[in-house]
Structures are given as structure tokens and as C-alpha cells.
Amino acid sequence: MAGKEQDQKQKSKIRLKATGDEDAKARATAKRLAELEAEVKSEGAGRVTNSDISVKPAALQSETPSLVVDSAVNRQTADTIFSTHGNSKKLALFWGVLIASLILSKIPGAELFFTPLNQFATLVHEFGHAIVCVLTGGHVNGMTIVADGAGHGGLTMSQGGIQFFTIQAGYLGTAVFGSLLVYLSQFHKLSKGILIGIGSIIGFASICFIAPTLFSASMVQAFFSLLWAVAMAAATIYAGLKLKDSNANLVVLFLAIYTAMDSLRAISIVLSAAMFGSTIWSDATVMEQMFVLPAVFWSFLWATLSVVLLGTTVWFTYGLGGIKPKQIKSTSSVITKRKK
């Protein structure tokens, strides 16, 4: 009997020791969670309340630290990507670049400085025609982005597709692209990636659309067009790789404003020519020939749509309404939590 009692006492001691070990592990886990909570709060990446910890089953508590850390890292990543300047700085950058563009364009000899930007805007215009043509089931036979001496600043040679949309995609496509860059320019941490993306798209599209023109009657224009396209692709990719975020952001904003304003400038020239009966070949005159309505109608329509689009973009971008950067960041955090 004495031996049995001794065995029972020994087993009780073992159980108490095991229980003590479990309690120690639980206390260590709770202590670690408290430390993680303090770190997350100090970094402003979110908060984990004690109530959240207490309701978790013991089996899941061992996985909680990694979940908290991963969630905090993902929120920090989203905050970094979609971080923006304050409204005052964003507005100062926007108006500063806009005024600088207007002043520089009036300086004698400044056309040499703006030549690459003009070629960039022409490239966007012609790409607009080509992309919409392909999207509506057509085929692009070739493209140029230099003047041919016959009144064409650039040409997109295509067949098929829906011409009603393809023809209008030049001026309107430039306005859409410029407005998109204006909106994206507020996320200064994205600027380097945006420049690399633009350069990559230019390079790929040049091979698809401009290169085939080398074997046509417009081979001279195609050769210089390809040189310009390759140079622009290389320059934007290099800028994206080498510039700091702040400088890359200025380049993106400059491209955005100049492209959007160039669309309005080109449309105003076409509209003036249509109103005063000047003979100028443009997308508006092509629309007049194909769809009856006069060129002045199409020019006025494109000008109105471009102004509304650009104005709406500026209104959204600088926090005056619509989706704001903070909402984007909070939405990304919610998505991250749901995935976990």
C-alpha cells in the first residue's frame, strides 16, 4: 500500500510539473504578444487589443505572432506604396510644373527643349489610334511619329476595327493618358516604377507598330520614328532606374501636365482651323468625311471632353472629392486582413 501511495504522489508531482510548464509557456506567449503589440503600436502600423488575444484558443495562440507581424508588414508596404505628399505640397508641385511649362514654352529657342516632349505626345497620340484599332478587331500595318512634309505629324496605318472609335482615340487617348499620369503622380513612391513601365511599353509597342513600317514606302519616316521611340524608351527606363523618388516624381508630373496640355493645344488648333475655314488635315476632317458631321463639331466635342476629364482628374487627385489616398490605404489593409 505504501508503494502505491508513493507512486500516486510521484504521478501527481509529474502532473503538477507539466501543468506548471504549460502555464509558463502560456505566460511566455502572452508576454511575447504584449511586446509585439507595443511594437506595432509604436510604428503606427495598427493595433492588437488584449480582448483579441484573450478570445483566441490556446491552439491558435502559437500562430498569432506571425500573423500579427505579417499583417503589420503588409500594412506598412501599402502605406509606403500609396504614400502621398500633403495637399499643399501636391498643389505647389502641380502649379509649379504647369507654370514652368507655360513660361518655358514662350522662351525663344525653347522648341528645341520641348522637341522630345512633342515627340512623346505624338507617340501617345498615334499609340491611341493603334491600341483602339487592335482592341476593336483591326490590324496595324505601320506607324510613324515624325512629320512627312504633307501635313502629318505622325501616321497610323491600319485596316479593320471600328473606325468611329479608332479615329477619335488619338486626341482623346492623349487626354486620357495625361490625366492618368496626373492622378498617379501624387503617389511619389510609384514614380520610378511608372517611368520604367512607360519606357517598357514604348519599346514593346515600337517593335510591334513602328518596326514593320521600315519595309514600306514610308521607310525614311519609319527609321527616324524608330530612333525617337527607342531613345524615349531608353531615357524613361534609365530615369526610373537612376533618379531618386522625388526627382522621378517631377519627371512624371512634367510628362503628365505636358501631355494633357498638348492634347488641349492640338485640339484648339484643329478647332480654330475648322471654325475659320483653314485647310488643315486632322482627325476631325477625317471624321467629317466619314461621318457627315462637320470638323468643328468633332473638335469642339473633343475639347470639351478633354477639359472635363482633366478638370475632374485634378479635382480627384488633390483631395477635393472622390477616392482619396487614405481610403486606398485603408482598403488595402482590410483586404490584407481578410486574406489572413
One DSSP character per residue, 223-280 reads HHHHHHHHHHHHHHHHHHHHS-HHHHHHHHHHHHHHHHHHHHHHHHHHHHHHHTT---
Helix (H) or strand (E) holding 69: helix 64-81
Per-residue pLDDT of the chain (340 residues; tens, 9 = 90+): 555 556 555 555 555 455 556 666 677 777 777 777 777 666 554 444 444 444 445 444 444 555 544 554 455 455 455 555 555 666 666 677 677 766 766 677 666 777 888 889 899 999 999 999 999 999 999 999 988 776 678 899 999 999 999 999 998 999 999 999 989 888 888 999 999 999 999 999 899 999 999 988 888 999 999 999 999 999 999 999 999 988 998 889 888 888 887 777 777 777 776 676 666 778 888 898 899 898 889 888 988 898 899 889 888 887 654 344 444 444 444 444 444 4
Q: Dihedrals φ, ψ of 315, to 5°?
A: -65, -45
Same domain, 60 and 117: no
312: domain range? 87-339
Q: Which of these three, 81, 115, 137, is where a domain ends?
A: 81
Same domain, 111 and 27: no
Same domain, 30 and 166: no
Q: Which of these three, 64, 81, 98, is where a domain ends?
A: 81
Same domain, 114 and 232: yes
Same domain, 289 and 305: yes
Among 62, 209, 69, 65, which Cα is nearest to 131's?
Answer: 209
Output the pLDDT for position 283. 87
Same domain, 72 and 103: no
Q: Which of these three, 27, 51, 81, is where a domain ends?
A: 81
Please tell me what DSSP assigns to residue 293: S
Same domain, 19 and 94: no
Same domain, 135 and 207: yes
Same domain, 19 and 161: no
Domain count, the chain: 2
Q: pLDDT tens digits, residue range 199-225?
A: 999 999 899 999 999 988 888 999 999
Same domain, 30 and 99: no
Same domain, 158 and 294: yes
Output the pLDDT for position 8. 59
Output the pLDDT for position 192. 94
Same domain, 23 and 46: yes
Q: pLDDT tens digits, residue range 225-261?
A: 999 999 999 999 999 999 998 899 888 988 888 888 7
- Indicate the length of the chain as a whole number: 340
Among 317, 221, 222, 205, which Cα is nearest to 260's?
Answer: 317
